[in-house]
Structure 1
Amino acid sequence: MVAGKFAVVVVLISLCQSVLAATLADTVKQIKPAVVGVGLVAPLATVSHQLKGTGFVIGNGKYVVTNTHVIDMQVPEDVKYQRTVFAGHGKKGQILPVQKIYRDEEHDLAILEIPTALPALPLYNENDPIPDGTDIAVTGFPIGGVLGLYPATHKGIVAAYTPNIIAAKNTSQISEQFLQRLRNPFMVYQLDVVAYPGNSGSPVYRADTKEVFAVVNKVFVKETKESAITRPSGITYAIPASHISALARKHNIPLQ
């Protein structure tokens, strides 16, 4: 009798896992067309097309969300370049110039305006945070241009909803802004999911819906920057989508 009950439980767990996998697969198909690369085009540089991070489309299709640290890439002063959104996948891509940038430096967010409408994603607009343990996924370009314009998806869970406090490694990092963040930290999601530097700006969404509830903004690195690729920690932080909505409202950017 016990063995029979155990078998039923195993079957139910297997069915739940199959349903979740099918749901996530369907969700990813809807997510991918709205995920774009963010970088620059510098015709006279050694590498003319440079993918620096990830973004995703919102609103009427002409606005892309990413991180400010993605668009503030280091470029030699003598190199002329255009900030660019790379849309499409593989060899069927579009290069769209960034026409305007709306920034929220405090939350490491930027909304980029582009000339052509692309498929867009809805934002989670509830006040309550996504509960710990919720199945989630992240889609983006984990290793940037190394893999080309092929978005990859990683799944995980929400590990915690926690204050955005990262200890300074040395006294040179302690500034007035740093102290202000310590006094008034905002909340971020800690995710148990493998992500890489190129995932900055990637949408974070529930496995059973395409509503974006957060944006990847940093990956915890255990040792060196290089080890983020070879030995990822599996700890990722993401900014709640409520800050995207606030930035959009500030600049009258339509979200529908």
Structure 2
Amino acid sequence: MFRTKVFLLLGLMFGFSVSSFGQDLVGVVAKISPSVVGVGTLTPIRGNNIELKGTGFVFGNGTYIATNHHVVGEELSEDMVQHRVVMSGSGKDFDVHIVEVVDFDPLFDLAILKIKDQSVSLPNHFTFADDKFIPIGTKIAFTGFPIGAILGLYPSTHIGIIAAITPDALPANSAKELNPQLMERLRKKFNIYQLDAIAYPGNSGSPLYDQETGRVIGVINKVLAREGREYALSAPTGISYAIPVKHLRNLATRNNITLN
């Protein structure tokens, strides 16, 4: 009997963290965690309700955040005042910062946000790999918010290896984004990282980094599920995917932003 397999863009659900790290990774996680943020929306009319949509991470001068396009692709409500926000810090006393979308690329599922308050600059503890693909078998990790912010902002780190470098099979979030220019680009398939690592909805936009160096090599954006979205939590396949960092670098460069 054949089972249907589908790719899922990582929206918010629930998950758990892997806690068995090597000693080097302990230091890396401690260093980079303050630069990992939650990405979501703020609705003041609903008692300042915050809905976490995914994960992002700080880069550049501390005012820019990288995440997935599908995390911020949904339009804000026209019936009520809403803001896009990022959440920084940890625990119950986290800070909320209103952001704007600087630029996005639906094909590579990437977006760059910028904090509106010019007096705010978040810590940037990331360094970035070059544009070459990292070898298959490299030990990797990613940090994000698979369980959301119901009890506070508590980043979780998951580990694994690069299992393959493979063509992307789901380059667009929805059919409405398929304009002639995008269709032409889709004919030129690009490679992404396939990971032997469990990611959950909410990990969208998490930085994928080398366990030993902490250098960012990609951005987590989807998982392979057996049949449907509900199986991403109850029966994860352990197959996840990430967009290579070179595409984030290209998006940043066209906006005169430099990756460290």
Q: TM-score, normalised by structure 1?
A: 0.83
Aligned equivalents of 2:178, 2:57: Cα separation in 1: 32
Give the number of aligned pairs. Answer: 235
Residue identity (%): 46
Q: For structure 2, which runs of at least 5 residues remain unmatched after alignment?
A: 1-20
Question: Which is higher, the Rg of structure 1 or of structure 2?
Answer: 1
2:228 pairs with one of 216, 224, 227: 224
Counterpart of 2:72 in structure 1 is 71
> Any idea what the Cα deviations from partners look like across 1:106-148, whole Å, max 9, x if unmatched?
2111111113211114343423211101100010001323453
Answer 1 or 2: which has greater helix percent: 1
Offset at 1:74?
A: 6.0
Offset at 1:100?
A: 4.1
Relative distance call for 1:138 and 1:230 in structure 2 (3 A) is same
In 1, are the aligned partners of 2:249 and 2:258 still within 8 Å (CA)?
no
Amino acid of the structure 2 residue aligned with 1:83:
R
Pairing of 1:93-112 with structure 2 (within 5 A): 93-112=94-113
Q: For structure 1, which runs of at least 5 residues remain unmatched after alignment?
A: 1-19
Greater shift, 91-100 or 175-184, is seen at 175-184
Amino acid of the structure 1 residue aligned with 2:79:
D
Counterpart of 1:213 in structure 2 is 217
> Any idea what the Cα deviations from partners look like across 1:51-96, whole Å, max 9, x if unmatched?
1100000111111000111012365541320000101011221110
Counterpart of 2:86 in structure 1 is 85
In 1, are the aligned partners of 2:160 and 2:195 still within 8 Å (CA)?
yes
Q: TM-score, normalised by structure 2?
A: 0.82
Pairing of 1:1-256 with structure 2 (within 5 A): 21-45=22-46, 48-73=49-74, 76-114=77-115, 115=117, 116-146=120-150, 148-166=152-170, 180=184, 182-256=186-260
Relative distance call for 1:72 and 1:46 in structure 2 (3 A) is farther
Q: Which has the higher contact order (CA 8 A, sep 6+)?
A: 2
Relative distance call for 1:175 and 1:102 in structure 2 (3 A) is closer
> Any idea what the Cα deviations from partners look like across 1:2-40, whole Å, max 9, x if unmatched?
xxxxxxxxxxxxxxxxxx700011111011110000001
Relative distance call for 1:238 and 1:177 in structure 2 (3 A) is farther
Offset at 1:105?
A: 1.9
Counterpart of 1:8 in structure 2 is none
In 2, are the aligned partners of 1:121 and 1:210 still within 8 Å (CA)?
no
RMSD over aligned CA atoms reads 2.5
Greater shift, 67-76 or 216-225, is seen at 67-76
Relative distance call for 1:175 and 1:133 in structure 2 (3 A) is same
Relative distance call for 1:90 and 1:167 in structure 2 (3 A) is closer
SS of equivalent to 1:25: helix
